[in-house]
Amino acid sequence: VNADCRAPLPIEQLVDYAAGELSEADETTLEEHLFACEPCARALERVMRLGAGIGRCVREGRIATPATDDLVRHLSAAGARIREYRLAPGDTVPCTAAPDDTFVAVRLAVPIPEVTSLSMDVDFHDLATGAREAQHTEDVPIDRTSGEVVMLFPGELIRTYPRSRWTMHMTPAEGSAALGPYVLDHLPWNIDS
Ligand SMILES: [Zn+2]
């Protein structure tokens, strides 16, 4: 058994394997690697412990996947490459996804301790075509340990986005004023601007 791995199995493959969604041939190849490779076997164990939540994150290209600080740490420990952006209300942050980023984590600070749930409004503005799209989500959970709303996006999804601006506001269920804007200024990887 190898103590080091020169070609770690991508977390996407481990997730598909854990969910029983690999073809038989791919499964055999992967198992051959796992039996001979201690780091990858350990990564698989961690992926198994994360359970269904992570599989959903990897496979579904949803606009906002509520996550937790804990999930982000576990994914990172399991070998996922995570690009993280932290925003406080009023911040504008440039963002992108590199070719090998497994996830992009967006962390929006909620500087009001008593808030337990929020609704979120996202205004998507395609800066190339001028197209706009608004999205409203109810009951966005807050990670109380970090005081943030944590969203996890598959890198694969983020890499499909054009040059665009994402303007987000969050309104506490408790009735305080909306927080924001939180602005992500998205630039596709490798585009000269
Ligand atoms: Zn390996």
Instruction: Say how many Å lie between the CA of residue 72 and the centre of ligand 1.
Output: 22
Query: Cα of 80 to ligand 1 centre, how many Å?
Result: 14
Confidence (pLDDT) at 67:
75
Q: CA dihedral defined by 69, 73, 75, 81, rounded to 10 degrees?
A: 110
- 193 C-alpha vs ligand 1 centroid, how far in Å? 38
Q: What is the pLDDT of residue 63?
A: 39
C-alpha to C-alpha distance for 24 and 44, rounded to whole angstroms: 18
3 CA to centre of ligand 1 in angstroms:
9
Residue 1: per-residue pLDDT: 62
User: Per residue in 60-117, pLDDT tens?
Assistant: 544 345 678 877 887 787 778 899 999 999 999 999 999 988 889 999 999 988 888 8
d(CA 29, ligand 1 centre) in Å? 12
pLDDT digits over 7-54, tens only? 888 777 887 888 788 999 999 999 999 999 988 888 888 777 665 555
pLDDT for the residue numbered 73: 83
Residue 143 binned pLDDT confidence (cut-offs 50, 70, 90): confident
Q: How confident is the model at residue 55 (pLDDT cuts 50, 70, 90)?
A: low
Q: What is the pLDDT of residue 192?
A: 55
Find the helix or strand (DSSP H, E) in which 80 lies.
none
Highest mean pLDDT pick, 2-6, 72-76, 128-132:
128-132
Distances (CA, A) of 95 to 8, 18, 113, 136: 27, 31, 27, 22
Report d(CA 33, CA 174) in Å as an integer.
51
CA of 126 to the centre of ligand 1 (A): 40
Quote the pLDDT of residue 105. 93
Question: Confidence class of residue 130 from pLDDT cuts 50, 70 and 90?
Answer: very high
What separation in Å is there between the alpha carbon of 30 and the centre of ligand 1? 9
